[in-house]
Structure formats: C-alpha cells, structure tokens
Amino acid sequence: MGRTVTSYRQALESEIDRWEGFRKALRDKDCEAFDKMMVACRLYASAGSMATRPILTEAMIMSILLSLQRELMEIKKDLERLEKQLCQTGLRKGMVV
C-alpha cells in the first residue's frame, strides 16, 4: 500500500515540537508570546491546510500575521471608542486626565 500524506495539523504539531528547544531558551514573557503565536497557528490550521503551501512555515507565518492584524484592528477600534467617549464627556485629545 502507498503512504498516507500527513495532515496539515499533524505536520503543524510536529513543526511546533521541533521549536521546543527555542521555546525553552526564552524568558517567561517571551515564552508566553511564543505560545500565543503557536495558538494562532493552531486556530488557523483549517486555512493553512487549504493554502497547500509546500513550506509549512509560510502558512504558520501567515496565521501569526493574521492573528496580529486582527488584534491591532481590535485595539484600534477600542481606542476610537475610548476617544469618542472622552470627547462626549467634554475632554479633549491631548489633555491629561
């Protein structure tokens, strides 16, 4: 019988495991950030498997970038909401509260 192709999720977990030495060398805050990036890779695993990229890390990097972009968009939305609230309460931009 022929070989079965490893699924993207299996290949992803294997790749993440290969980075364990790097992870262990990080400080606590950096380790937390690294783990968060790997969670992003897992969250977008379905999209990564559909990308059919020959190099696994390309889909991983795109997943991390997408996660960061979404986070930036949420921060921007929150900031705009807070600025609007400040303006509505009579405070102006640049004033120290």
- Statement: residue 89 has pLDDT above 90: no
Average pLDDT over the chain reads 91
Exposed / middle / buried, residue 63 (Cβ in 10 Å: 0-12, 13-18, 19+): buried
Residue-level pLDDT at 2: 67
Q: Is residue 38 part of a domain?
A: yes
Q: Is residue 1 part of a domain?
A: no
Under a CB-based contact definition with an 8 Å cutoff, are residues 34 and 23 in contact?
A: yes
Q: Is residue 93 part of a domain?
A: no
Kindly state the average pLDDT of the residues 8-24: 96
Q: Is residue 66 part of a domain?
A: yes
- Statement: residue 95 has pLDDT above 70: no
Q: Is residue 20 part of a domain?
A: yes
Q: Is residue 13 part of a domain?
A: yes
Q: Is residue 74 part of a domain?
A: yes
Q: Identify the domain containing residue 48 by its residue range.
A: 8-88
Under a CB-based contact definition with an 8 Å cutoff, are residues 19 and 31 in contact?
A: no
- Statement: residue 1 has pLDDT above 70: no
Under a CB-based contact definition with an 8 Å cutoff, are residues 39 and 31 in contact?
A: no
Q: What is the CA radius of gyration of the chain?
A: 20
pLDDT tens for 37-76 read: 999 999 999 999 998 888 999 999 999 999 999 999 999 9
Residue-level pLDDT at 90: 73
* Nearest of 42, 62, 40 to residue 51 by alpha carbon: 62
* Nearest of 60, 64, 61, 63 to residue 13 by alpha carbon: 60
For residue 29 the two structure tokens come to 């805050």
Domain count, the chain: 1
Q: Is residue 61 part of a domain?
A: yes
- Determine if the pTM surpasses 0.75: yes
